[in-house]
Structure 1
Amino acid sequence: MNNQRILLSLFAIYFVFAILLNSVGTVILQVINTYGVSKSAASVLEGFKDIPIGIVSFLVASQLPRFGFKRAMLMGLAIVTGACIAMPLLPGFWTAKLLFLSVGVAFALVKVAVYSTVGLLTRGPNEHASMVNTLEGVFMVGVLGGYWLFSAFIDSANPGSTAWLSVYWVLAAICLFAFILLSLTKMDESGTRVEGTSPRQDFWAMIKLMAKPLVYIYVISVFIYVLIEQGIGSWLPTFNNEILKLPAAMSVQAASIFAAGLALGRLGAGAIMRRLHWYPVLNVCLLAMALLVVLTLPLSSDVQANPDINWFNAPIAAFILPLIGLFMAPIYPAINSVMLSSLPTHQHSAMTGLLVIFSALGGTTGSLITGSVFEAFDGQVAFYLSLVPISVILVSLFFFRRAVEGREVGASAKLTV
């Protein structure tokens, strides 16, 4: 088994799915302008993506070791390739819904398979944490590239133009490349499931994981984190456009600072986590996030539209607020790695299934809440509300650390006996 080629395949898959999954904010802005839908109606696109992720993960995560991780990833790539081709051929809001439905179903297959494959390639918690951070860093590089890719096809002078749909031909080509690369890569998936178990037993084993205090504290932490990230990420382009008065293409480009912060934070987190304990690092990150929200949002008040706006005279809030991504970055990979490293390899698929389910639920909840508050009040109020889940996750991480340390002490006691 060629580990380097497998890693390249995983990076290619995660890169293209990063663009598709995190294009929701951009597509929300474009369907509002192109098809004339309301903000609350456009916000359902997050649900069309996240709800299928949760449902499919719940149904199939425990069965993927039996089906095959490589097959699951190939199936996911085939689904999204077809959906990307449909976008420019059949333009309409319903096609956008179909796209994100397809992306959700495919990502449920892909993420469980990718995370489980990481467990096959690594030895020990440090190596696992390093690879997860690198993988999530590549994901955020894809998110960053996606903002600029989409903005290149947006006609700011004609908001109702459908020219932006041509970006999906490029995305279909990237999906096809990833499909071919993976299909030519050999993978050894032995040891990924317990022999002699039935599909029903595998499914109930996943459900039983939820009974463990460590696991339910973990999924609560994941839910809250993704609620924050998707609430900000999905609505930042619209915030830039309506509150900071940036043109549509520039609004999307400015939102890429958020993705760049996430990418840099995650790529750098591996080195930091090797030297420092994850818990104090994440606490500092959460407090910095809250401070940035409190100090930056007042700068977005009463911004006047400027027809000659450019990068040199744009409101300073357009550059500072997205930096919240830099501090947010280490949280998700860190808690995922801590959780998965505490489990045997054959449980990684089931645990990742739970991770994907609660990530999807958190993403949908965050986008819907932010969109509804954005429409009822304004973007400032919507983003100020992020202080609430930031406070909640501070508390949940305290109990998560206690549960992890309690498990480690229990395991050491058994070895001593």
Structure 2
Amino acid sequence: MGNTDNIQGITNIKLIKWLTYMMFLMFAMTTDAVGVIIPEVMKTFDLSMTAAGLLHYGPMTAIALAGIFLGFLADKLGRKKTIILGLLLFVVNSYLFIIGNAFAFFLTLMVISGAAIGIFKTGALALIGDITKSTKEHTSTMNAVEGFFGVGAIIGPFIVSYFLTQGVDWKWLYVVAASLCVVLILIAVKVKYPETQKKSGEAINIRRTFAMIKDPYAFGFSMGAFLYVSVEAAIYVWMPTLIKGYDGSLLFIATYALPIFFILRAGGRFLGAWMMSRFNWAVVLSLFSFAILVCFVGSMLFGVEATVFLLPLSGLFMSVIYPTINSKGISCFPKSSHGAVAGVILFFTAAGAALGPLAMGAISDAFGSDAKYGFMLATVFAVILFAGTVYNLIVDPTKKRLQDLDLSEYMIEKA
């Protein structure tokens, strides 16, 4: 009987991991397809770029607010209930896309979609600690999860582009995502999740989440996430503008620069899952952040020919940065707090995705609408990010905390 229960437990963990992978793939299909949707919305409703850009900034803001205000639900209600709650809201909201045809209506639905994503994403991120056996495995699994997110970021824009060539409205992407989500909910309801760990007498509420921001580990990793996402968003928001009109020898790469970036980012994250289970994460983080900096500095110094090659290439090096920052930030806390800290990091992540491109656009406009000046700001972000990874490598401030949590939370014996 004991052996049967053990086998069942292993099977459940594997199924839960695949459910988590598919959740990240599914919501990436919608969030990362906005870049393809915006031009269609601008044309349909005769909108300015600023107005249409709300389709990106609105959901990102909602994800950020859901992370900071509702992240504690994963600790209070449990991972399973929180995930299903978020997925149900996402499903209902996504099916509503087919009944309306007004910009304000679509923007409202996208904002609600962002809130739903914030709810089930914090639940899923907290869950990773429950289904892994060490902080090292946590980081490896997080890279795999974000790898599937990267795949979704490729699939979503492809589906929208295909729909448009067939005369099908872009909003049917949300129907596809909702239908996939229904399947995930049905499976999630049937699967037994690990029991959420709670500390007796611990108050699990918004106040605890805000108090967590003051913790140097939560704040440090959150700022790392903010800087990284600001750098990454520079690519998928403004790179097409930066290389627009290029007709040199690398025209093929320029034409498909964004898909190449997303493919390298997705593939690199699966490679990162392998690397993080075998190598020192701080060394990998420093080397890859330095490579990103080289790509950005090179693109600024050597002109558009170098830019066309280097910026898409940076996707390979960006691949491991965010999953590792996210994982180590969450792993620096007991499992009973994983939902709250995941929400805090998610807040700064979404803030970086919204504010980074916004600041770049403003600086570019101030210098005659030249995107190169915005990328100079992104290069400064890359410098600060690299400096942070070097500090982490040399000082190693998380070493003792992670070792203690491996012992207390994952029951790993000291060597």
TM bracket (short chain): 0.7 to 0.9
Match of 1:128 in 2: 138
Matched, 1:347 2:337: yes
In structure 2, give the amino acid aligned to 1:338: K
> Normalised by the size of structure 1, how large is the TM-score?
0.83
1:294-373 counterparts in 2 under 5 A? Answer: 294-296=297-299, 301=304, 321-373=311-363
- Structure 1 counterpart of 2:59, from 46, 49, 58: 49
Letter in 2 for 1:175: C
Verify the 8 A CA contact 2:37 2:170 in the aligned structure 1.
Answer: no
Say how many residue pairs are matched. Answer: 390
Superposed counterparts of 1:77-226, under 5 Å: 77-155=87-165, 163-191=169-197, 193-199=198-204, 202-226=205-229
1:233 aligns with 2:243: no
- Tell whether 2:14 aligns with 1:9: no
The answer (yes or no) to whether the contact 1:231–1:369 under 8 Å persists in 2 is: no
Q: Which residue of 2 aligns with 1:398?
A: 390
Alpha-carbon distance change, 35 to 162 in structure 1, aligned in 2, over 3 angstroms: farther
Give the Cα separation in 1 of the matches to 2:40 and 2:287. Answer: 36
1:223, CA displacement in angstroms? 0.9
**Partner Cα separation in structure 2 for residue 271 and residue 24 of structure 1:** 31
Deviations 1:231-278 (A, max 9, x none): 3223445556x4448xxxx99965222211111111101222233322
| Letter paired with 2:211 | K
C-alpha distance 324-99 of structure 1, shift in aligned 2 (>3 A) = farther
1:267 aligns with 2:270: yes
2: CA distance, partners of 1:148 / 1:384: 30
Match in the other structure for 1:286: 289
Q: Against the structure 1 CA distance between its residues 251 and 44, is the aligned structure 2 distance closer, same or farther, given a 3 Å change threshold?
A: farther
SS for the counterpart of 2:71 is helix
In structure 2, C-alpha distance between the alignment counterparts of 1:22 and 1:209, rounded to whole Å: 30
Letter in 1 for 2:313: L
Cα drift, residue 297 of structure 1: 6.3
Structure 1 unaligned spans of 5+: 302-314
SS at match of 2:101: coil
Give the drift of 1:73: 1.6
Please name the residue that 2:6 is paired with: none
Aligned partners of 2:341, 2:52: CA distance in 1, in Å? 32
Is residue 29–residue 238 contact of structure 1 (8 Å, CA) maintained in 2? no
- Maintained 8 Å contact 1:147/1:252: no
RMSD across aligned positions (CA): 3.1
Q: Distance in 2 between matches of 1:220 and 1:22?
A: 22
Q: For residues 359-404 of structure 1, what are the alpha-carbon distances to aligned partners after superposition, in whole Å with 9 as ceiling and x for unaligned? A: 1111110232234445551333333432110011122233444664
Give secondary structure in 1 for the equivalent of 2:164: coil
Read off the aligned partner of 2:188 and give its amino acid letter: L
Whole-angstrom CA distance in 1 between matches of 2:45 and 2:303: 28
Q: CA deviation at 1:228?
A: 1.4
Q: Residues of 1 paired with 2:273 and 2:402: CA distance?
A: 27
Distance in 1, Cα, partners of 2:165 & 2:241: 16
Report the secondary structure of 1:175's partner residue: helix
| Change beyond 3 A, Cα 1:32–1:400 | farther
Cα distance, 1:54–1:128 mapped onto 2, change above 3 Å: same
Rounded Cα–Cα distance in structure 2 between residues aligned with 1:253 and 1:406: 40
Identify unmatched segments of 5+ residues in structure 2: 1-8, 248-252, 409-413
Matched letter for residue 408 of structure 1: K
Separation of aligned partners in 1, 2:177 and 2:242:
26
Instruction: Give me the TM-score of the superposition, normalised by structure 2.
Output: 0.83
Question: Which of residues 378, 383, 396 is equivalent to 1:386?
Answer: 378
Q: Distance in 2 between matches of 1:366 and 1:316?
A: 23
Residue 23 (structure 1) aligns with: 33
**Structure-1 separation of matches of 2:92 and 2:47:** 25
- Aligned partner letter, 2:280: H
Aligned to 1:304: none
Read off the aligned partner of 1:68 and give its amino acid letter.
G
- Residue 367 of structure 1 aligns to a residue whose secondary structure is helix
- Where 2:397 maps in the other structure, the secondary structure is helix
Q: Is the 8 A contact 2:59 2:113 kept in 1?
A: yes
Sequence identity, in percent?
25
Tell me how far apart the structure 1 counterparts of residues 360 and 92 of structure 2 sit (CA, whole Å): 31
Residue range with higher mean Cα deviation, 106-115 or 25-34: 25-34
1:140 CA drift (Å): 0.7
Q: Greater shift after overlay, 271-280 or 387-396?
A: 271-280
Distance 1:410 1:132 in 2: 16
- C-alpha separation between the residues in 1 aligned to 2:225 and 2:358? 17
Q: Judge conservation of contact 1:116–1:348 (CA < 8 Å) in 2.
A: yes
Structure-2 separation of matches of 1:252 and 1:352: 36
